[in-house]
Every structure is written in C-alpha cells, then in structure tokens.
Structure 1
Amino acid sequence: MADKISGWALQWGQPAIIAGAFEERFARGAFDKHLAQNPDVAALWAHDPSRPLGRVSNGLLKLRSDAIGLHFLLEPDPAAPLGQEALATVGNGTVTEVSVSFTPVVEEWTDDGDIPKRLITEARLYEISLVLWGAYGKATSAQISRASSNNSAARRRIEEAQRRRGIL
C-alpha cells in the first residue's frame, strides 16, 4: 500500500483570525454543493500552482465532508521529487497544517465583538495546500496514513513485547 497523506483541510465552526481584520468560520457542509458538482479540486504545495501534488480528476485527491470538517486523502506520487518531499516532510512532522483556496458564495457577517465575524455557509473550493502555517492552524491536520504497514508494525511491537515478557 502506498503512503498517503490525510487529515482535515479545515474543521467546521473553528475560528481563524484573518489578517487581524476579522474572524472567519465555516459552517458544516459549506463545500457540499460545490463538491457535488464534481469540481476538479487540486492539492498543491504551499498554494504554488507550479507544484501540484494531485487532483480530484486523476484520483490522487479525495475530499469528503464529515461531522468534523472537510476531510482529504492525498496520494502523492512517491516516484516524483515533490511527492517524496511531501511524504517526507509530513511524515517527519515538519509540515502538519493545511490551507484552502476558496471563494465564498453565501456568508453571514456580524459585528458584535471586538472584530467583525464572518460565517461562510457556502463556498467554492479550488485547492487545498500542505503548508507550514495555515490560517486555521491546528484546526487542520496532515499526517501519513499507512494502514497496512502500521498494522504490521504494531503487530511486530506487540510480539516483541510479548517475547520480552516470555509470553511467546
């Protein structure tokens, strides 16, 4: 099984302060309508269109809206230098955040606090990016998914622990 990068591009309802000017949040399912229209969303390295990692149309990027937020599964090409870089830097924990490029379609503004607040209830999604620091910070995530190798590694650790205790 090839290594994949997965996580949440953002979490519903989590606030981010944008340029110190306003607080922004996404309502649950804000991208659902746009995703249902089969958009060709791309996965990029740091919002750089010259550094693509995958896209929906080639099957290397999968997106879904769940109860937590906008979940993604990205399978960068391990034979490509950029794919190797993405897998290595996410795998070693250097890059752990995600950012999104979008256009709001429906938004609600309130001005009842220290700064204005924007709730985006519908938006068009163009790309997600692996980034060092994203606007939504730790409300996003990127980590390596190695389901089959993780199972094997866990089994080896358990067996080794059992051997040390004389169980095996």
Structure 2
Amino acid sequence: MDEKREIRNTSFQVQVTGENEEKRTVEGYALLFDIPSDGLSFTEVIKRGALDGVLEKSDVFALLNHDQRRGVLARSKYGKGSLSLSVDDKGLKYRFDAPKTALGDELLENIRRGEIGESSFCFDVEKDTWEKRSDGSWKRTIEKFGNIYDTSPVYNGAYSKTSVYMRGKEAAEEELRHREQEIPESYYQNIEKSLNI
C-alpha cells in the first residue's frame, strides 16, 4: 500500500437493506464530520467540506477488509458506477448491491450473523493541521482529503496506525519545540532598554 494512504475504521453500523426477500443492498457511513475519533493516540476530526470535489476525482472500491486480492464488491470511478457515494450533513454514506459471488455472499451472511458490523475507509490527505492542546494531547483536523481509495465493511474495527499521520504529528511536535526554543526579539529589546544601550 502507498505509504501516504491511511486507514480509519469506524463504528458506524453497516447493514443490509432492500425491498425484496433476497435483500442484497449494503449501506453504511464511511466517515462522519466534526466527530472526534477514538482509538487513536491523538484526537482526529474531519471538517465539513473535506470531501468537496474529492469523490469526482477518486476511483473508490468497496472491498471486504480493504483486500482487493479477494475481489471487488462495487466501484465508483470518478462518481459513477455500482458503488453509490453521497455526502450529506453527517458524512460520507456508501451503498451498493452485494454481487452474486462468493465474496458478496460471504459479506451478506456475516453482516446478518453480526460478524461484520463496522465500516472503514482508506484515504490520503491534502491538507491537515495539528494542534497541541493544554492537556498535552494532540488534535489533528483533516481539512481536505486528497483521495478516497476504498470504503470497506470490516470484521475488526481496530484503528490502523500509519507512518503518514505519525510523521505529521512528529513534524508538528518539532515545529512546536523550535518555536518554544526561539527567544522573542522583544526580550532583547527590553534588555537593551534596561541597560540604556
């Protein structure tokens, strides 16, 4: 996987819906706006507007556990395809009809049994900010996604730690250390005034 890509699992329920007896429509939220994450070593919030123009330029797959080698459940290529992606007030919603394949049947059976109940998504970030809070913890705000690569129903909802967001946090920590070490120019001006230089 490209080292710029990150994965976040969410507790947003994935479910099977449909009108007929053989329900094969799967839907859920891949992400929610303005809701602090949990399960990471920092707090992460996705701003409203972070997806503006992103879906139209992304090739997004619906996969089981992010594993394309097992097959594809659905796809939205630049906003069109068997995977329906929509952004509403809450976040990014996905919907697709599970294919009549072994993978599609596995997905449906395990959702019905309760083995799969969470969603996840894979992405990269175009713009984010890091802030050290008064309690010493860090907050990351995702202001703009670069691409969304997949939305996936998953068996295990554990968050994935990636080198990308850790590098972003390390860079923010280094910048903060650098700023704290800099002595403000006003300090020197005050010394000069007191010494009448």
Is 1:130 the counterpart of 2:150 in the alignment? no
More strand by share: 1
Letter in 2 for 1:47: H
- Among 35, 51, 67, the residue aligned to 2:89: 67
The CA RMSD over aligned residues, in Å, is 1.9
Q: Show CA shifts across 1:17-68 (max 9, x none).
A: 4642x2212112312221133x220011111121221111472211111001
Alignment-derived partner of residue 46 in structure 1: 65
2:53 match: secondary structure: helix
Q: Map 1:11-26; keep pairs closer than 5 Å.
A: 11-17=32-38, 19-20=40-41, 22-26=42-46
**In 2, Cα distance between equivalents of 1:25 and 1:91:** 31
Could you tell me whether the CA contact under 8 Å between 1:99 and 1:135 is conserved in 2? no
Letter in 2 for 1:134: G
Could you tell me whether the CA contact under 8 Å between 1:5 and 1:90 is conserved in 2? no
Could you tell me whether the CA contact under 8 Å between 2:59 and 2:148 is conserved in 1? no
Letter in 2 for 1:55: R
The number of residue pairs the alignment matches comes to 133
Gaps of 5+ in 1: 137-168
Is 1:106 the counterpart of 2:127 in the alignment? yes
Superposition deviation, residue 92 in structure 1: 2.6
Letter in 1 for 2:56: A
When Rg is computed on C-alpha atoms for both structures, the one with the higher figure is: 2
Is 1:96 the counterpart of 2:117 in the alignment? yes
Alignment-derived partner of residue 49 in structure 2: 29
**In 2, Cα distance between equivalents of 1:84 and 1:114:** 47
Gaps of 5+ in 2: 1-19, 160-197
Could you tell me whether the CA contact under 8 Å between 2:39 and 2:158 is conserved in 1? yes
Stretches of 4+ moved more than 6 A in 1?
none
More displaced stretch, 79-88 vs 89-98: 89-98
Task: Calculate the TM-score normalised by the size of structure 1.
Answer: 0.71
1:33 match: secondary structure: coil
**In 2, Cα distance between equivalents of 1:114 and 1:65:** 33
More displaced stretch, 99-108 vs 88-97: 88-97
Task: Calculate the TM-score normalised by the size of structure 2.
Answer: 0.61
Higher relative contact order (CA 8 A, sep 6+): 1
